[in-house]
Structure 1
Amino acid sequence: MDYHAIMSLLAKGRTYSEITASVGCSHRDVATAKRTMTAAGITPQRLAALSATDIEDLFPDQRKAVSEQYADPQFAQVVKQMKHNRFFTLQQGWVNYLAGTSTGKKYSYSQYCERFNRFAAATDVVATLQHEPGKAMFVDWAGPTLPVVALATGQTCKAYFFVASLPYSGLVFCQAFSTMKQESWNQAHVNALSFYGGVPQLIVPDNARTATHRRRGKDSEVVVTAAYRQLAEHYQCAIVPARKNRPRDKAHVERMVQAVETRIIGYLASQTWSCLDELNDAVHERLVDLNDRLRRVNGSTRRELFEAEEAALLAPLPDDPFESVEYKQLKVGRNYHVTSDYQHYSVPYELAGKILSVRMTARTVSMFDGQVKVCEHARKTGRRGSIRPNWPTLLSIISRCRDYGPGNGSSPGLGRSIRPRSR
């Protein structure tokens, strides 16, 4: 409490309400200052000559008197121990505090932790994270996007940038995707692990919807999504999401995202891109500059440190890359096509009107009529409404069409509808 300001306002004849509004104190504090001024005979002239020590003597802090009865925890030494020994815990500091030779009272463990938190908040103490080689991979989406304009239609879509980084060496991976959905999220991890040539022990994501969710709306427990958990099981690694509203948990990847924004996205933003493949080729060239050419303060590049100390500690990749599988029940339209994610895939025309089981991976789309696979297509990620024709089916239909041609029927008539021959 700034009692000097309160007494100065009292000497000027201000009211209690004016003083409380100005200083942010209570009426009790003003009354205490008023009594002290009366008892000590403090005049405005004497008040101007009072030092900070004199004010403390007039208004002693009872909390300091109580704290003087306890032994000093020496929190500065505890912080020093934590910085030099990453295995040193606050409980060890409390045990050493109890074993000290001081004759004063000793704080309980809960009081010790509370006072350490106050000390850390007042001095802005941050625990130093000692990253181990090959242990973790941090992942996140970058904030900025770039437009991709299709040359054929002029339609514009956004390119989202996935960023992964190994905190020990700082080796960065980046790739552009058309969406931030689960399929893109999982495929980005597959490509990142292939880029590193191995699997770390942990993957640390942010709390994106493709990574975590709550079991219930207001539940504080956060669990990993089923599709993301399948990826972790395939690569035999653990997923440890960063805590919500704890930016320091993922401070490393935030720095790497900033590096990607300034050294990759910033360089490519002035150009026009017509497809993701072209954009990702340019991203790869910028990654080479960031990982292989840019030398840091210690004189090494990210790639050199990775190959020298971290690459050998990564677990080997499995024989087959992970593919997320999604099953759907889709009805075949009258045009003998099924539609999924705004893309159309053709099937034999005899199946029009039937419901098929569709198995979708990142690369293929397979249709099943019961247990029989009727056709398979490459997964499309193009603009909405594009059709991938089933050429064997179309040729079969044309060969079995009625002859509408003139004369002896040697050629089909132009401008007439072609219908399949009835059985």
Structure 2
Amino acid sequence: MIKSKYNRPYKICKCCVMDTSDEDIIFDSNGVCMRCNEYKERILPEWNHGKGHEKELDILIKQVKESGKGKKYDCILGLSGGLDSSYMLHLAVKEWGLRPYVFHIDAGWNLPVAEENIRRLTDKLEVELHIEKMDWEEMRELQLAWFRTGLESLDVPQDHAFIALIDKLSRKLGIKYILNGYNIATEAVADPASWGRGGGPTGDGTYLKDVIKKHCKKPIKHYEFTTGFKHKFWIPYVLGVKTLKPLNLVPFTKKEMTETLCQEYGYIPYGQKHFEDLITKFLEGYWVPTRFGHDIRRVWLSTLVITEQMTRDEALKILDQPPLSEEESRELFCEVAKRLEITEEELWSYHELPECVEKFKSQEKLYDFGIKIYEKLGIEKRIRR
């Protein structure tokens, strides 16, 4: 059963499906939430569903190719096996003729279907896959540490590892362009800030080190850290490494992405965004809805609604059903406990922890300031509130 806990009378947006499970949501006089209004005012006019950006895209591709002359690779691309990064790889290689250094982080939580999808894409596109295998004992301890905090955002250990590896590769390889699969079509709306209170920014090494200091029972020696300063300022503005989001310059829908990948590579869809990863599937499909009353599908579905890929009624119909069946949830619960080498009783004890009130060191204010600047400069295309 999914929890419902609100600090005010329940209300849902008249345009999308975001609701008062976000404690900070604001509605206008017509009952439309601030995300829908921000999308219409700030995002849509420039994006225009990816249409009209042909010249801009052509210039970017030429710049990437020019920077890679005489080198084995002209860009870096992280491949999770998810829909966005997979479609990004397809376009980069097959449509644009780029030569990406393709890497994948194996944090110990890969599902077999994701590994099969990755293999099918890289084999058919004939690109070399570089796998960074994390130290499982450290990853296990890090994951347990985040469970012990009682926080909602529990996939920080592997998300930070991805960001840190990007930073490391950009320096090590001397490649000046990173292809990022973020796109407005499937990710315009970010998770509400109120859902992640108590923690810190995923890319903030200060936050991670404080959690490790307070909640890790074993030393962490091999894990790679980065910082917001390094990731957001030093690497792009001093070293000149640019992160590109070219999917925003191409017209497509989620349905078209899926159909292309299925037809070209025999890609197997996961049913829900981020369900290619065991721990993320467990957290987003079971843990967060039942412990915190937050359904990540509201974010993804609202994006599809406001970008006109789905009707609001269709989204509401999906939300009428839980993300996972009771049987699937039970299987995942058992599997996660087994992987973490703890009893199911211990895992359940974390589920029943009181809401986290512990304070962790972080650079959150600096991150928030940076995002506001990026929004004013037109660099930040995501609705972050």
Q: TM-score range by the shorter chain?
A: under 0.3
- Which structure's residues are more often helix, by fraction? 2
Higher relative contact order (CA 8 A, sep 6+): 2
TM-score, normalised via structure 1 length = 0.19
TM-score, scaled to structure 2:
0.20
Query: Which structure has greater strand proportion?
Result: 1
